[in-house]
Structure 1
């Protein structure tokens, strides 16, 4: 890991003119109340996420959002410190706390991801498509097509979810028959995924729950979006960052999400920070010093700020992050193996 970081530094030091003194000054002169507000928005978003998880659980049991807030905070702390392999810690911790099966909580996790994707796609697409400064964005035609694709894709996901929920078994059986002649294993795999998706959708049993989940999802991702925006606006010494529009911020958020998709322990912090800085510099012409400063602060605000709270919560609940991450990964593998064995019989 250290060798990889050193290689990046050696590669870039003669290609990028960077002044560390200016970088430090950019950090020192930042508006810290804006950064504090951004962290507060991220922390509130965790609470909203817990309330949404409680909504997903409501068909089988009634719990408060606070009941599942601890697993959310501890789980995201595990991801920040240990990387994406710790992502199953959240459903594992909820299952252990509520004394339910892991498969039930993984079903919630799958539907949660669907709502995250849909909410972010809807916000991203709406802002980019209707923003007054959309023509000033880099590659405006490409972004316009991406925005339109996102809106259409969100609608298609919603329609697909309805069909799978109502006719999932029929769709799975039809998929098996369609692939039986030339790729039976592929057909069986797709059918299994459809059935797993249908089983996950049982967490939404009424229109009220769907509406609540959509409301919480949109509220949460709007908070996250404005946390990005407030962090950028905190860099008052950079005219571009201090006046960054919401549409431009959406491009930065998309880059951050892509960079964090395969998060590695610690090393992933640097790759995510570098990706954010590269987008700010390459797309919007921000100087490297404030771009890297903003990238580092965005990483802290949106990804690492949960760590102190999560460590305190884990200590209070006597949870070992490494142990929970390992147990949840093994439990997930065992669950998948059992499912594959049952499907092959």
Structure 2
């Protein structure tokens, strides 16, 4: 256990150095292109925001956490029957830990659920794996459908439609792959394991174990009806998240490129934001996410950098940081230390790996 921490620290430092290099490269590129940036203009943009849109976006995000907690209880029905709001606290606290410490605290939610529901941690890591698969499928379905059916008047229409069709095909492939694992997971794990062994024996074993773990998680769901209901909840949850992006963007009513931005166009921002958060680091990840969304707005829609940065800042607050107050309250009520929770998440990650 003690040997794992230096590896984690070294990995974090490597990612941090890579991010700093990317930031430096971005600043150098902006300087060479002659781009300017006015901090006072960003503050003026924030002053002119329609705050009722921001409140609506935060409401959508909190609603998505409620749905997420209920969906987790649906995944757990074969282990233990619990109420729809029983796991709301672990969701709030877990995502607060992620907002503060980055993705290294992502497995804090399985630990918190196992602690509160008094079930085994491995069973909740399996639920977490299945949850992420449903998240990926629902988010990709909404994203790809929005792009595949973009209006012809939208800039770069053909590119967006092509990306949407490819993404939709990938989503359907993942769904078919999940069904194949559910029906013939042992044989599929053996085949994929042999394929991985040709490259590396360790890789073959790892692939086989991951497929079997995912199969166990899918079998824990139960009937097809339960899986279908979880799919509906996943779509509803991600629709709420997508609407939070729309509300936040429309809060900038004084900016022509944002005030009437369509749902499909806003999905590009959601994709950029989610992509930049996959390797989210403590605190620094906030700025990389702001930069990713601001850069997307400026590149795709011609939004001024100052306005795009102000919008990216509010997107971060609405979608990531707004959960922190509720998470701190839940952590205090449940007697959970966030520092200890980070260590627990690292331990769970090592066990999962």
TM-score for the superposition, normalised by structure 1: 0.90
Any conservation in 2 of the 1:137–1:248 contact (CA below 8 Å)? no
- Is 1:136 the equivalent of 2:154? yes
Larger deviation, residues 141-150 vs 190-199: 141-150
Instruction: Name the count of aligned residue pairs.
Output: 334
Q: CA deviation at 1:287?
A: 0.8
Q: 1:238 to 1:53 in 2, by over 3 A?
A: same
Summarize deviations over 1:307-344 as a string: whole Å, max 9, x none. Answer: 111111111211111111102211331454xxxxxxxx
Task: Tell me the SS of whatever aligns to 2:231.
Answer: helix
Match of 1:87 in 2: 106
Match of 2:174 in 1: 157
Q: Tell me how far apart the structure 2 counterparts of residues 295 and 181 of structure 1 sit (CA, whole Å).
A: 45
Correspondences of 1:48-197 after superposition (within 5 Å): 48-133=67-152, 136-138=154-156, 140-177=157-194, 183-197=200-214
Match of 2:231 in 1: 214
Any conservation in 2 of the 1:164–1:171 contact (CA below 8 Å)? yes
Task: Tell me the SS of whatever aligns to 1:218.
Answer: helix
Q: 1:206 to 1:137 in 2, by over 3 A?
A: farther
Match of 1:318 in 2: 335
Task: Tell me the SS of whatever aligns to 2:151.
Answer: coil
Pairwise CA RMSD of aligned residues? 2.3
TM-score for the superposition, normalised by structure 2: 0.88
Q: Tell me how far apart the structure 1 counterparts of residues 171 and 115 of structure 2 sit (CA, whole Å).
A: 33
Match of 2:311 in 1: 294
Any conservation in 1 of the 2:149–2:161 contact (CA below 8 Å)? no
Tell me, which stretches of 5 or more residues in structure 1 are unaligned?
Answer: 337-345
Q: CA deviation at 1:10?
A: 7.0
Q: 1:178 to 1:228 in 2, by over 3 A?
A: closer
- Is 1:235 the equivalent of 2:226? no
Summarize deviations over 1:135-178 as a string: whole Å, max 9, x none. Answer: 5233x333322211222222221221111112111222334455
Match of 2:6 in 1: none
Q: 1:197 to 1:31 in 2, by over 3 A?
A: same
Q: Tell me how far apart the structure 2 counterparts of residues 83 and 181 of structure 1 sit (CA, whole Å).
A: 35
Task: Tell me the SS of whatever aligns to 1:305.
Answer: helix
Match of 1:20 in 2: 39
